[in-house]
Each structure stands twice: as C-alpha cells, then as structure tokens.
Amino acid sequence: MSDTKLIKSPIKEEMKEFEPYFKEQLKSKIPLLDVITNYVLRRKGKQMRPMLVFLSAKLNGEVSESSYIAATLIELLHTATLIHDDVVDETYQRRGFFSINALWKSKVAVLVGDFFLSKGLSLSLDTGQIDVLKVVSNAVSEMAEGELLQIEKSRKLDITEEVYYQIIRKKTATLIAACTKAGALSVGVNGDKLTNMAEFGENLGIAFQIRDDLFDYEQNGMIGKPTGNDIKEKKLTLPLIHALGKTDKQEQRRILRLIRRHHKNEKKVQEIIAFVKANGGIEYATEQMELFAEKAKNNLAGYPDSETKTALLTMVDYTLKRKK
C-alpha cells in the first residue's frame, strides 16, 4: 500500500463525508461567489490539514460532529490565507492552476478570502465551538506575525538560526499544530494529552518546512539545476544560515552582498547554492529535519498501536521524503 493510501485508510469515510459538508458551508446567493468557490473546491490539494484533524480526533476518541466543524474551520481559514497570500505575492498559479487573482483580479480575490474567513467565524460561533475558534484564530495571527518577521529580516539579512525557527514555527508549524490540537479538542481531550498533540503538530510542521527549504537546493527535473527561489526572494533559510555560520566574516559579507545585490542573477544564485553545499548546509538542515521528525514520532509513543497511529507515523515519514 502506498504512503498516501496508508495515511488516508483510517479516515477514508470521514474524508468522503467531509467534501459535501465543506461545500455546504460555502453556499451563497451570489452567482459569482458560487462560481469562484466551486473553482477553489476543484483545485484543492492533498487536504493534509483536514486529514490531520480527523486522524488526531480518531487517535484520541471517536470522530464527532465537532471534528467535522474543526476540520471545516481550519480549511476555511487556511484557504482564505492562501488566497490573500497569492494577492500579496502577486502569484498567478498555485499547484498548476490559475490563482483567483489571476482569473478575477485582486479585489475579487481579497473579498473571496474575506468571505471564507467570515464563514469560518460564523460556523464556529453558530455551533458553539469557541475553544476550536481560539486555537485557529491564534494560529492565523501567528502566521501573519511570522510572515511580517520574515519580511523584516529579509530586508536586513540578519536571520540567525534562532530567528529562523521562530519564523517557521509561526509561519508553518502553528497551523499544523492547530490541526492536531483541534482534532483532539473535538473529542474532549484536555490537559497534557492536548499539549502533546499540539507538540506533535508543531514538530511535524517544523520538519515539513525544513523539507520545503531543502527543495531550493535540489535538482529540478525541468531545468536540471536547483531553483534557488528562496535566494531570489532574499529569504535566508536553514541551509544558508548554517553555511554562513561556518565561514569567516569576509566570506559572509561577500555572500550577503551577492544576495542583496544579485539575487535575480541566475549565475550568482547558483554560486550561492554551491557555497551552501560546500559548507555543509544541506547535511545540517537534513539532520535537523530528521531530529524534529523523530520528536514528532516520540509524541505518539504513548499511544497503543493502531491503524490511526500507523497513519500518523507514515505521515511523518512521508513529510521527509516527499518530492514537493
């Protein structure tokens, strides 16, 4: 059985029922809005976040109506942030599909993102899911803080390893932790067990983001060389931060000057990538990714063996070896 089938196996029925449930929350009397939400639903990705909610719920109890509400709330707010991100970044494609701002312009995209946000808030208030709303609202505010911190540090190019982890905890790990925490909350978990499930999500999220950062330095099948997209955006990620720390001040200044002045120059970008590889940046980031993955697995150690536990452990392994 493939990894994705193993992950989905314990929650196959829940995910099947989730699709119409999620769609129902997006109904509108405005034809344009219906057209756009149907387009959003058609281009949905792997749905990792709802899967994590249901797996976390099933690991800790019986999936309930509250679990569906938690999964829907997280997917609504996550989708809203992606729509807004595409506008901010002027991105016109996501996962091979045109973004909403590419097809309907930025003003419409922002309003659709706002609609998704408001639907999430209404759903949680109408059903009394205040605890889940608190978890998800906190995650969304932390994501915004993480993005702003990264923008600030990218301008100054002074990201330390400590700041890097602060950024990725807020930008990526906090939402994945919200999924696992909300799933556990939806079946009545509290105290140390709830904290443990949130920690599992955070450790998984950090490993996930480091894996994302490593893609920048790997051979791209289409062009045959690393893309260096983060460097082109002046983002200092873990492989580069570590490599800079391994060299002398003069070389550090030279590399930072290349990033500041020549980050759009393909030849210079490849030179920076070569520097990172020569100074052990890839190996170090890989070790750190595996360390956080191991921490995530340790968070599950206290649970008895089950199909759901196996699915979550498989998701950790899949995070490390995924190709995109």
| pLDDT per residue as tens digits for the range 215-234 | 888 866 444 456 778 888 88
Q: Categorize the per-residue pLDDT at 269 as very low, low, confident or very high, splitting at 50, 70 and 90.
A: confident
For residue 320, which of 208, 225, 152, 235 has the smallest C-alpha distance? 208
Lowest mean pLDDT among 51-65, 81-95, 135-149: 81-95
Name the residue with tokens 């387009």. 39
> Percent of the chain beyond pLDDT 70?
90
pTM of the model: 0.89
Q: Categorize the per-residue pLDDT at 162 as very low, low, confident or very high, splitting at 50, 70 and 90.
A: very high
Burial of 147 (0-12, 13-18, 19+ CB in 10 A): middle
Greater pLDDT, 321 or 312: 312
Query: How, if at all, do strands 93-94 and 97-98 pair?
Result: antiparallel
Domain that holds residue 78: 3-321
For residue 175, which of 310, 64, 43, 78 has the smallest C-alpha distance? 78
Q: What is the pLDDT of residues 34-46, one digit of tens each?
A: 777 777 777 766 7
Kindly report the CATH number assigned to the domain that includes residue 295: 1.10.600.10
- Strand-pairing partners, residue 97, are 94
Number of domains in the chain: 1
Burial of 75 (0-12, 13-18, 19+ CB in 10 A): buried
DSSP string spanning 95-110? TTEE-HHHHHHHHHHH
Q: Dihedral through CA 228, CA 175, CA 98, CA 121, nearest 10?
A: -150
For residue 231, which of 254, 252, 258, 205 has the smallest C-alpha distance? 258
